[in-house]
């Protein structure tokens, strides 16, 4: 790694995974790239040790532009763990050498690189008993699930929640956080092989299939689609009048929401230090289960995105970033 130990971070090159043009994994190149500028204000720079992959991020507008301005070349992967090695003058909660994990804003360069720069408010201290790979894998899906359960679904203990995609990265955390809140979870999975997994995570009932017949109309207090775009009609139909439907990939269908008299909402996770600190405590205590499907070295980042988890294992794909001594 061509990064000096001096605060001015000279010479100013690092290894990174970058895309110089919009597209899919075929655009990603492992190459030398400029270091982020030294942190100012409340920003920090961290040496990245692990960066988790969200496959669909290459389709997000925020990946490629900020306020309508093209950002290419871009660095993907916004969930990471690493070590602080430079702080802005307004940063008082972190010092050089602190082990941290966090979420880089989606319209900034991500963490598929040796160094990342981000606001200190998007960080938390990584527990010493939690691996860098596990911490990176948990950040985005766990924060999304935490925010969904606590701020958007607004369910009380004993109420019923239908989750589409119970074995996905977000879905597995939705089950766990909802179960911890006393919510009765029904999870929908595609394979019978996944039933035991989601039951262990806390699902009270598991339905198998893309359009399970067992979902009765108006039988749930809320539903959430953690699979992706194209939320099916039955996920609206399953919710009682004036119940809630949450989508995570695209805005809900207003016509379906009106037809079934439900409150349908879409949100993008908003990381903050409090949520990250709570996640750190849960990870340290073993209070939640984190699945890691596979790891790749940063140099094989293009292959990681191309694979899209086709190995069939549950959990996140994580890029491991070697230190200068490796």
pLDDT tens-digit readout, 247-280: 998 899 999 999 999 999 999 898 888 999 999 9
Under DSSP, the state recorded for 148 is I
In sequence order, which residues have a C-beta less than 8 Å from that of residue 205 and are 6 or more positions away? Answer: 184, 185, 186, 187
- 261's CB contacts (< 8 A; 6+ apart) are 241, 242
How confident is the model at residue 127, as a pLDDT?
Answer: 97
Q: What is the pLDDT of residue 194?
A: 87
Q: What pLDDT, on the 0 to 100 scale, is given for residue 250? A: 85
pLDDT single digits (tens) 130-167: 999 999 999 999 999 999 999 999 999 999 999 999 88
Whether domain 13-126+291-320 has CATH 3.90.180.10: the reply is yes
What does the pLDDT look like over 297-314, one tens digit per residue? 999 999 999 988 666 678
Domain segments of the chain: what residues? 13-126+291-320, 139-266
Closest CA to 290 of 183, 151, 129, 130: 130
- Residue 46's nearest CA partner among 107, 134, 141, 110 is 110
What is this structure's pTM?
0.91
Task: Spell 166-194 as b/e; 16+ CB within 10 A means b.
Answer: bbbbbbbbbbbbbbebebbbbbbbeeeeb
Determine the pLDDT at residue 103. Answer: 97
Average of per-residue pLDDT across 121-134:
97
CATH for 139-266, options being 3.40.50.10470, 3.30.420.250, 3.40.50.720, 3.10.290.10:
3.40.50.720
Q: Could you report the per-residue pLDDT of 191-202, keeping only the tens digit for each? A: 888 899 999 999
Q: 293 by DSSP, 3-state: which? A: strand
């Amino acid at each position: 790694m061509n990064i000096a130990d001096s605060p001015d971070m000279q010479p100013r090159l690092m290894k990174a995974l970058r895309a110089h043009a919009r597209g899919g994994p075929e655009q990603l190149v492992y190459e030398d790239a400029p270091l982020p500028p030294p942190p100012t204000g409340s920003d920090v720079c961290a040496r990245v040790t692990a960066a988790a992959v969200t496959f669909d991020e290459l389709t997000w507008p925020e990946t490629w532009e900020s306020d309508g301005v093209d950002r290419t070349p871009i660095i993907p992967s916004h969930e990471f763990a690493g070590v602080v090695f430079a702080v802005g003058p307004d940063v008082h909660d972190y010092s050089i050498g602190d082990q941290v994990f966090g979420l880089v804003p989606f319209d900034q360069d991500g963490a598929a690189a040796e160094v990342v720069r981000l606001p200190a408010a998007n960080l938390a201290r990584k527990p010493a008993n939690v691996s860098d790979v596990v911490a990176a894998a948990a950040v985005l899906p766990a924060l999304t699930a935490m925010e969904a359960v606590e701020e958007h679904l607004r369910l009380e203990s004993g109420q019923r929640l239908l989750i589409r995609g119970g074995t996905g990265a977000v879905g597995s955390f939705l089950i766990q956080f909802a179960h911890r809140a006393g919510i009765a979870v029904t999870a929908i999975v595609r394979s019978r092989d996944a039933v035991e997994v989601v039951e262990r995570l806390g699902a009270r009932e598991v339905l198998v299939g893309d359009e399970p017949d067992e979902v009765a109309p108006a039988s749930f207090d809320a539903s959430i689609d953690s699979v992706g775009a194209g939320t099916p009609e039955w996920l609206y139909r399953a919710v009682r009048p004036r119940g809630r439907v949450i989508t995570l990939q695209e805005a809900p269908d207003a016509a379906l929401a009106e037809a079934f008299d439900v409150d349908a909402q879409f949100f993008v996770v908003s990381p903050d230090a409090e949520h990250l600190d709570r996640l750190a405590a849960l990870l340290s205590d073993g209070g939640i289960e984190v699945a890691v499907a596979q790891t790749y070295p940063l140099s094989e980042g293009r292959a990681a995105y191309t694979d899209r988890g086709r190995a069939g294992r549950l959990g996140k794909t994580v890029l491991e970033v070697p230190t200068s001594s490796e």
